[in-house]
Amino acid sequence: KAGVTQTPRYLIKTRGQQVTLSCSPISGHRSVSWYQQTPGQGLQFLFEYFSETQRNKGNFPGRFSGRQFSNSRSEMNVSTLELGDSALYLCASSLAGEAGYTFGSGTRLTVV
Amino acid sequence: GDSVTQMEGPVTLSEEACLTINCTYTATGYPSLFWYVQYPGEGLQLLLKATKADDKGSNKGFEATYRKETTSFHLEKGSVQVSDSAVYFCALSDYSSASKIIFGSGTRLSIRP
């Protein structure tokens, strides 16, 4: 079966713009989580959505937001981009939030 | 709060050598423990997991045992291959918040032919 699919794979944006990243979880998975990976901070949890509701949230500013649709697909939005937002953004899914999430290949965002 | 500490890299070994990557954790509850692997340009792949004390996770020749008394989850492999070259992340998640995975800083492993 198909894995976690993230689009686009690469993105270049200008400081001050906003961006939307998309994630399609494994079919049947209802929990979707987002992570930011940078060389300096490593992997950090952004938020989790389950059945269209945000269930957990990490320590990121309000510029980072997300949503989940009824088909479990999720989007992440970052507004007023800063240079420090340049990172690999990873999406992960699981059936119902149990241990052992499956990750996608990520979207590499570069802010110039 | 909960945290994961793993050995600094990079680690360079010759093919067929034995591998150990140390990982210790701090957690208030009873976490699940994981090893994830990241190949160049890719996302994370779950390598193995253990959900309770004394459990042993294993996959592709890699093993790790959940040691509650030493709060450790060391990754081991008896004979590494060039294809094992990657970055390895030790991680934990609390039973009440499995989606919020806390990762170690990662250990880069390079295997020489």
Query: DSSP readout, B42-56?
Result: --EEEEEEE-STT-E
The pairing of strands B97-103 and B56-59 is unpaired
Q: Is the pLDDT of residue B56 over 80?
A: yes
Q: Closest Cα of chain A to B82: distance in Å?
A: 22
Percent of chain B with pLDDT over 70: 98
pLDDT value of position B102: 92
pLDDT value of position B29: 81
Q: Would the CB atoms of A58 and B99 count as touching at under 8 Å?
A: no
Q: What is the mean pLDDT of residues A18-22?
A: 98
- Does residue B74 sit in helix, strand or coil? coil
Q: Is the pLDDT of residue B95 over 70?
A: no
> Sheet holding B19-21: strands in order across?
B19-21, B75-77, B62-65, B56-59
Cα B108 to the chain's mean position, in Å?
A: 11
pLDDT value of position B107: 97
Phi first, then psi, for residue A85 (nearest 5°) are -80, -5
The pairing of strands A64-68 and B97-103 is unpaired
pLDDT value of position A98: 73
Q: Which 8-state DSSP code applies to residue A35?
A: E
Percent of chain B with pLDDT over 90: 81
Contact between A29 and B99 (Cβ < 8 Å)? no
Q: Contacts of residue B101 in chain A, CB cutoff 8 Å?
A: 33, 35, 43, 45, 92, 101
Q: Which distant-in-sequence residues (6+ apart) come within 8 Å of A46 by Cβ?
A: A33, A34, A35, A36, A57, A58, A60, A64, A66, A76, A89
- Among A40-54, A91-105, B48-62, the minimum mean pLDDT is found in A91-105
> Is the C-alpha dihedral spanning B6, B8, B13, B17 positive or negative?
negative
